[in-house]
């Protein structure tokens, strides 16, 4: 495959790469061209991401891999062009999301993590900036696999810096005093819990001026879930477990979310009452939160 890079049409810029709009010459399809910096770090991230994407099966919530190439002596990865904002941008424009919308987004995210786990991969940098969303359909696409790693291995870094984004790192990752950050699905699930909190409240649960203080606050996390609806409370409590052995895996979390879709006629009287109360609670929570925001 050969690609044309539109270097005057920049889509996004990260620490070690810049994404441009481009074209696949063979198919005449638009693509996103992720051009990596010509540095040791840029080359490591390119090699890691390209190796994973080349062998990764397709999934509706992952951007499709199109190929690799070089642009101005820099390596690039060509990906499916998904012309929509990141979840971080979407949240900035919209503010806190209604329960059902936030839970639907998180459900897609959990299904994606489950799919990756089934193919032996941990993403290791789940955050709103690495998720694209179609504002009309609410369909998401997870991006940026530069820090991803096969399970259960780790990626050795060149310094003592952490692998990933501290705001979204699980306590066991932050607590490791080594140059190896191990890949686990439990760590990805913690990140999903942080994302859910942010979607529902429009603010991050860990606010601190200093990164070291912030990391410590995450490791010693205690949470008050009382401002959330009952289903969101249970899901957050299961994902934001400091003890990774007690943290929900993607399958358990998805099963919890499936409760909101159960037909009431198939439930026992007691279960029906609980589901109705949960749904009513969710509606009241969304209404009261919107009212408080508008004031």
What CATH number does residue 54 fall under? 3.30.200.20
| Residue 16 shares a structural domain with residue 154 | no
DSSP one-letter code for 158: S
With H, G, I as helix, E, B as strand and everything else as coil, classify residue 197.
helix
Residues 38 and 152 reside in one and the same domain:
no
**Does 51 share its domain with 143?**
no
Please give the Cα distance from 184 to 161 (Å, whole number). Answer: 18
Of the residues 99, 125, 188, 249, which is catalytic?
A: 125
Q: At what angle do helices 230-239 and 99-118 cross, to 10 degrees?
A: 30
Q: What is the dihedral of CA 66, 142, 220, 166, to 10 degrees?
A: 50
pTM as predicted: 0.82
- For residue range 172-191, list pLDDT tens digits in order: 887 765 444 556 899 999 99
* pLDDT score recorded for residue 159: 36
Give yes or no: residues 112 and 229 share one domain. yes
Whether 285 contacts 99, CB under 8 Å: yes
The CATH number of residue 270's host domain is: 1.10.510.10
Q: Are residues 52 and 166 part of one domain? A: no
Residue 103 shares a structural domain with residue 227:
yes
Structure tokens, 106: 């998180």
**Mean of pLDDT over the chain:** 83
Q: Is residue 175 part of a domain?
A: yes
Parent domain of 60: 3-80
Predicted confidence band at 160 (pLDDT cuts at 50, 70, 90)?
very low
Is residue 71 domain-shared with residue 126, that is, in the same domain? Answer: no
Does residue 290 belong to any structural domain of this protein?
Answer: no
d(CA 161, CA 180): 9
In angstroms, the CA 96 to CA 125 distance is 22
**Do residues 156 and 207 share a domain?**
yes
Residue 291 belongs to a domain? no
Taking phi over 0 as left and psi of -120 to 50 as alpha, with beta for the rest, 153 belongs to beta
Q: Is residue 295 part of a domain?
A: no
- Mean pLDDT of the 89-110 span: 96
First to last CA, the chain: 55
Question: Hey, what's the torsion of the CAs at 65, 34, 151, 39, to 10 degrees?
Answer: 140
The counts of H helices and E strands in the chain are 9, 11
Predicted local confidence at residue 146, as pLDDT = 85
**200-250 confidence digits (pLDDT tens):** 999 888 765 356 566 666 767 678 899 999 999 999 999 999 888 999 999
pLDDT digits (tens, 9 = 90+) for 119-154: 989 999 999 999 999 999 999 999 998 888 776 554
Residue 51 neighbours by CB under 8 Å, 6+ apart:
none
The pLDDT of residue 212: 58
Residue 65 lies in a domain: yes
Look up 249 and say whether it is catalytic: no
**Which of helix, strand or coil describes residue 8?**
strand
User: Do 185 and 146 lie in a common domain?
Assistant: yes
Helix axes 269-294, 230-239, angle to 10 degrees: 90
CB 259 within 8 A of CB 232: no
Q: Per-residue confidence at 272, pLDDT binned at 50, 70, 90? A: very low
Number of domains within the chain: 2
Task: Tell me, yes or no, whether 107 lies in a domain.
Answer: yes
Cis preceding-peptide flag for 152 (omega within 30 of 0): yes
According to the 3-state scheme, what is the secondary structure of 50-62? HHHHHHCCCCCCE
Cα 121–Cα 131–Cα 147 angle in degrees, nearest 5: 40
- Whether residue 178 lies inside any domain: the answer is yes
User: Does residue 25 lie in a domain region?
Assistant: yes
CA–CA distances in Å: residue 82 to residues 1, 20, 42, 132, 138: 19, 12, 23, 8, 13
- Is residue 35 pLDDT above 90, yes or no? yes
- CA 210-167-37 angle, to 5 degrees, is 95
Residues 134 and 234 reside in one and the same domain: yes
User: Do 180 and 246 sit in the same domain of this protein?
Assistant: yes
């Amino acid at each position: 495959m050969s690609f044309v890079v539109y270097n005057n049409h920049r889509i996004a810029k990260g620490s070690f790469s810049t994404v441009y709009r481009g074209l696949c010459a063979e198919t005449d399809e638009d693509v996103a061209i992720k051009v990596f910096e010509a540095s040791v770090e840029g080359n490591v991230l390119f090699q890691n991401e390209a190796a994973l994407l080349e062998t990764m099966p397709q999934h509706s919530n992952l951007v499709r891999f199109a190929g690799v190439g070089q642009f101005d002596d820099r390596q690039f990865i060509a990906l499916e062009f998904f012309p929509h904002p990141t979840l971080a941008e979407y949240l900035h424009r919209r503010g806190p999301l209604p329960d059902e919308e936030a839970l639907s987004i998180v459900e897609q995210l959990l299904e994606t993590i489950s799919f990756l786990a089934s193919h032996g991969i941990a993403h290791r940098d789940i955050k709103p900036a690495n998720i694209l969303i179609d504002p009309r359909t609410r369909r998401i696409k997870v991006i940026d696999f530069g820090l991803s790693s096969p399970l259960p291995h780790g990626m050795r870094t060149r310094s003592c810096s952490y692998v990933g984004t501290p705001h979204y790192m699980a306590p066991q990752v932050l607590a490791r005093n080594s140059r190896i950050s191990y890949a686990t699905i439990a760590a990805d699930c913690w990140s999903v819990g942080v994302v859910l909190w942010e979607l529902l409240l429009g603010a991050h649960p860990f606010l601190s001026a200093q990164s070291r203080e912030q990391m410590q606050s995450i490791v010693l996390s205690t949470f008050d879930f009382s401002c959330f609806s009952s289903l969101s409370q249970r899901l957050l409590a299961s994902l934001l477990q400091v003890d990774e052995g007690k943290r929900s895996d993607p399958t358990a979390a998805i099963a919890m979310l499936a409760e909101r879709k159960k037909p009431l006629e198939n439930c026992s009287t007691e279960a029906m009452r609980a589901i109705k109360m949960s749904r009513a609670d969710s509606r009241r929570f969304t209404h009261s939160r919107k009212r408080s925001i508008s004031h």
